[in-house]
Amino acid sequence: MNRRVIDPADLAICREAIRTGSYSFHAASRLLPAKVRDPALALYAFCRLADDAVDEGRDKVGAVLSLRDRLDLVYAGRPQNAAADRAFAAVVAAHDMPRALPDALLEGFAWDAAGRRYQTIDQLCGYGARVASAVGAMMCVLMGVRGADALARACDLGLAMQLTNIARDIGTDAREGRFYLPSDWADEMGLDEADILTAAQNPNTPPDPRLMVITKRLLEQADKLYLRAEAGIPALPLHSRPAIFAARHIYAGIGGSIARTGYHALHGRAHTSKGQKLGWLALSGLRAAASIVLPCPARLHARPHPECAFLVDAAATATAQTRRSDALFAVLAQLEAQDRGLPLGNRGRAA
């Protein structure tokens, strides 16, 4: 296989993984031109399958350490014999993908495996930067976009999507032992993890006004980030703007669905209908056309979120990274110690 071309058989497997595993991205990706859509499908399949291994597998630590080794092989040009790994290796080679970006994703997954909790919204955004904004920055690289302003707004979009996901999945996450709500917000409302878990496990539990307030606050933060993010879409290539507008509207629509429940997201999973998605796809095409003539909003030039600045720097400079960050080495070392049966000293601490 040409190292710069994704094997069609591998791409077909990646496409199917996304079609069944990420309806929102699959819908938005249909608006991308093939030269961006194909590597994007490979990127999302690799990230999605890695995320599922950490979230759903019994051996979360082993899944993270395996992902570390898989990334090492990808960047050595010798990917593991799996469709997603081969396809992602082709993407890395073709687009000179800065290693700091998938390494940030790896670090976020490592935080999950370590059971990390987040005291403040900024700390939660540090997690979102790694598991979502890093993907937004990688999407910019696939489009050939390296401008700092556009990268910062792509990172905003990733953060907004992640906060929306957290709001949607509060109940599901709690039942799996995952808690992402800022603990200082919960403390203000007199809530703790035990309260949320008890409520999440009982479908007959009435809505808790305290948790609804926190969910609303999360979605308000997301809405501010969606507004900042869309200012960067006119800085993208014209052919990619409809898809990114679509991603913005479809994910924000999930937040709207939660709002219509009164911000009660413990039981059931908020979703959007096929008709709504089609409407947002049409709107996105119109907004992309309008962006040709409308001036770029001043928000385009806002500084990146502090937790995302390292991603912007990595993608903008396109400097090859030869080693992992000290912070990532530290958390991986902790997980390796746990894997060998030694105590994990940082379990449950805030970022």
Cβ atoms within 10 Å, residue 278: 11
Number of domains, the chain: 1
> What's the pLDDT score for residue 177?
87
Task: Please report where in the chains the tokens 């990808």 appear, as a residue.
Answer: 74
- Domain containing residue 153: CATH number: 1.10.600.10
In tens, the pLDDT along 93-116 reads 999 999 999 999 999 999 999 999
- Give the pLDDT band (50/70/90) at residue 230: very high
Give the domain range for residue 108.
97-339
CB 190 within 8 A of CB 213: no
In tens, the pLDDT along 180-228 reads 999 999 999 999 999 899 888 888 888 899 999 999 999 999 999 999 9
Asked whether residue 249 is assigned to any structural domain, the reply reads yes
> What's the pLDDT score for residue 339?
81
Percent of the chain residues past pLDDT 70, beyond the cut: 93
Asked whether residue 111 is assigned to any structural domain, the reply reads yes
Alpha carbon of residue 294 to chain centroid: 29
**C-alpha distances in Å from residue 101, one per residue of 5, 79, 118, 237, 244:** 21, 17, 22, 21, 19
Would the pLDDT of 253 be above 50? yes
CB 137 within 8 A of CB 101: yes
Asked whether residue 81 is assigned to any structural domain, the reply reads no
DSSP classification of residue 291:
T
Asked whether residue 257 is assigned to any structural domain, the reply reads yes
Closest among 121, 168, 147, 104 to 304, alpha carbons compared: 147
Asked whether residue 270 is assigned to any structural domain, the reply reads yes
> What's the pLDDT score for residue 268?
76
Asked whether residue 192 is assigned to any structural domain, the reply reads yes
